[in-house]
Amino acid sequence: MGEQNLFRRGAIWWLRTTVKGVEVRESLRTRDLKTARRIRDRRLEEIAGEAHRGEKVIGWGDAVEAWASHVTGQIAPSTAKRYAVSLMQCRSVLEPRRIAEIDGKAIAALIAARRSAGATPATIRRDLTAVSQVLEFAEASGWREGNPTLSKRRILKERRDPIQLPDHDEIRLVVAAASARFGALITAAWLTGCRQAELVNARRRGFDPRRQTLTVTGKGNKRRTITLSDEAAAHISAQPATLGSDLIFCREGGAPFAEAASDFTHLRRAVVAKAKREGRLFRGFRFHDLRHLFAVEALKGGMDIYTLSKHLGHTSVKTTEIYLEFLSPEEAEAARHGSAQTSAQRKRSRGAATG
């Protein structure tokens, strides 16, 4: 059969055929031509059999599209965006495969690829959660059996990303390199401890400048109202209103920061590259590290662990207790057993973001 139905993409051999007028392309995941021919012949027989039985060849892309249509309106927009980003990141590894052949080895290859790309364990877990949603839908649709992401997610869950608190000067460098509006989003994360998605979707109608409170929607679509410091309330009040948009933090014209995570990554890399050219030390930090910094500084400032846990939206105070390791023994004891923070402590102003 020679090289018929075969083509190369880079060093990898691919299969190309047509089924009932629809072109099918699959990676054969081999660099060896002899192996590629053997896999091609087997796959052509399988595809012909599926076509003869009237079965549709369901690829990963087909399953993602069907799943997305199924869940539209059933999950929060912020969750849908997060899943969409993860599925896009996984696309290069999974798209060449049929949904039925995504097994443990395929998921292991995906994890390896994401690690090679510099993704943190937390990011990989989020990616696997999105992949799991599609696989569960595909299993319910009768397109495959099992969900190989479950065991892999359990293993990854045992690893916690180390917390590295950014320096104040590092934060200011990144804010200075950002656009005014995106820099304001970064500063808000530092001043409030809110998650990135919570701030990106924060609405003006949820901000009460008189009471100095902000209502946000967190994980699981749960709403909570947090008390703001004087500085945080002033920062939010200073954000320019945009006609036709209720978002507090948005682009010029009112468009949301739909790709805030990747925008921040590109910004951080640019700052790191500039510091390297200038011979300056700059460690870099993740957007989520701003939340960690807020938590540690809040505890050092007198907030007790239970109030902080509620402020951050943690479901268990055990999660919040990870920040105690950044405190002195005396500070940790006060955080564990201290009374609810006083009004003066709630209105503390660190002066860090503008000082």
Q: Count of alpha carbons within 13 Å of 286, Cβ hemisphere only?
A: 16
Interval 104-125: pLDDT, tens: 888 988 998 988 888 888 788 8
Interval 211-254: pLDDT, tens: 999 999 998 889 999 999 999 999 999 999 988 899 999 999 89
Cβ neighbours of residue 261 closer than 8 Å, sequence gap 6 or more? 85, 196, 287
Domain range annotation of the chain: 6-52, 60-157, 168-346
Domains 60-157 and 168-346 share a fold: no
In whole angstroms, give the CA distance from residue 37 to residue 177. Answer: 52
Q: What is the CATH number of domain 60-157?
A: 1.10.150.130
Interval 250-271: pLDDT, tens: 999 899 998 898 899 999 999 9
What's the pTM? 0.59
The confidence score (pLDDT) of residue 155 equals 59
Q: What is the CATH number of domain 168-346?
A: 1.10.443.10
Write down the mean pLDDT value for the chain. Answer: 86
